[in-house]
Amino acid sequence: MSTTTPVTVIVGASSGIGRAAAVRAAQDGSGVIVTYNSNKDGALETVRRVEEVGGTAVALPLDLAAPETIPGFRAEVERTLAATWGTDELTGLVNNAGAGSNALVEDATEEHLDQMYGLLFKGPYLVTQALLPLLADGGAIVNTSSNSARWSGLTAGYSAYGAMKGALTIFTRYLAKELGGRGIRVNTVSPGPTRTPFAGRVFEELPEVTAQFEGQTALGRIGEADDAGSVIAFLLSDGARWVTAQDIEVSGGLRL
């Protein structure tokens, strides 16, 4: 079989930035496989929104905390590609899933470190490794990092989260180097403070926090999911054909 329609896997697309990226990718003409862990209803809502813009999407479960399930996930991706799009290839992969929790270095437990490692680095690494044989030459990978791994986003209590996101950024550069011969581009998007379910209701319930970030941001507002989602979709597109190994901060100029 050969690819007739671009198809992108977006890991972690049941809400927020992943959902926004799925809709944007669909608007650009890509089919979308969206993954979820516990939020199946959210993933189905993402599918509905993709269909609203004329696209096709399928939701599949994936638990990054259970790496032994990843081979089965890959097999399900292969079946979905054949059944839904009549192809055996992906053209894009977005590693966006994750979770955030904070703890000062002196208080961080081994369990906390293991959770951050599994969800933010080991999981994306193993999913990418598993799906690489399905990724077409000339395709694209986008990893969602965080400005918590940059000077602009350093916040006490996020050492484990920021460190694992930093590792993902370095992994991105190595992937770009190793896959360049296949014409595969690999980039990272690093959002700043963004109004998504990931942040809970902090921006609604703590207006002083919102005001603080707005005052520290050159463009004067909190980020929205589509701000990062649209950049992810751009990096998947042919418009970014000469961009690889880059970490693009999407923060509106936080702490410039």
| Residue located via tokens 């930093």 | 166
Kindly state the tokens that stand for 200: 């809970």
Long-range residue pairs from 69-75, CB within 8 A, at least 24 positions apart, any chain: 70/126, 70/127, 70/130, 71/130, 73/35, 73/127, 73/130, 74/130, 74/131, 74/134
Within 10 Å of residue 84's Cβ, how many Cβ atoms? Answer: 15
Q: Is 161 a catalytic residue?
A: yes
Query: Is residue 119 within 8 Å of 127, Cβ to Cβ?
Result: no
Cβ atoms of 72 and 124 within 8 Å: the answer is no
Calpha distance 117→108 (Å, rounded): 13
Among candidate residues 36, 125, 158, 161, the one labeled active-site is 161
> Token pair for residue 58?
């399928």
Rounded to whole angstroms, how far apart are CA atoms 147 and 161? 11
DSSP assignment, residue 92? E
Burial of 115 by CB count in 10 Å (0-12 exposed, 13-18 middle, 19+ buried)? middle
**Residue numbers annotated as active site:** 161
